[in-house]
Amino acid sequence: MAAPVLLVDDDLSLALAICSAIESAGLPVEHCSTGEMAIDLMKMNRYSVVVVDLMLSGGMSGIYVIDAVRNFPPAERPSVLMITGASVENLRGVDRQVVQAIVFKPLDLQLFAQMVLAVYRHVGARVVAP
């Protein structure tokens, strides 16, 4: 079975729309709303692509999720796409060796889903370990 995409976004209505667009592109997707949940899920499951919002409510921003991805062995490291409504100044600390793309809101959902699909195909749609 192909590894799913993990979407980390605390805006439920936007997350549902993004999930729908990604699923319409033919990809499996899981959603969580906090950085803490994302890190727990990434410890239990393998993901090909992680889409993370930079600004998450609660105590953990998307940067913490990206930091967790950085600590994965290279063969198990998912590709990361960041979405944000923040200004460019807030992006100075983003590790571009981990984050493949930064996409600013508002999103064109169909175009974004195609971007996720392209990244997913590029990483070879890693297989979930049994």
Evaluate whether residue 54 is within a structural domain. Answer: yes
How far apart CA 117 and CA 121 sit, in angstroms, is 6
- The CATH code of the domain that includes 9 is 3.40.50.2300
Evaluate whether residue 124 is within a structural domain. Answer: no
Evaluate whether residue 68 is within a structural domain. Answer: yes
pLDDT one-digit tens code per residue, 13-71: 999 999 999 999 999 999 999 999 999 999 999 999 999 999 998 778 898 999 999 99
Structural domains of the chain, count: 1
How far apart CA 32 and CA 104 sit, in angstroms, is 20
Q: Which residues contact 10 (CB under 8 A, 6 or more apart)?
A: 33, 34, 53, 56, 57, 58
Radius of gyration of the chain (CA): 13
Evaluate whether residue 127 is within a structural domain. Answer: no
How far apart CA 76 and CA 47 sit, in angstroms, is 8
Please give the model's pTM, rounded to 2 decimal places: 0.90
Evaluate whether residue 128 is within a structural domain. Answer: no
Q: Which domain holds residue 56?
A: 5-119
pLDDT one-digit tens code per residue, 102-126: 999 999 999 999 999 999 998 875 4
Evaluate whether residue 130 is within a structural domain. Answer: no
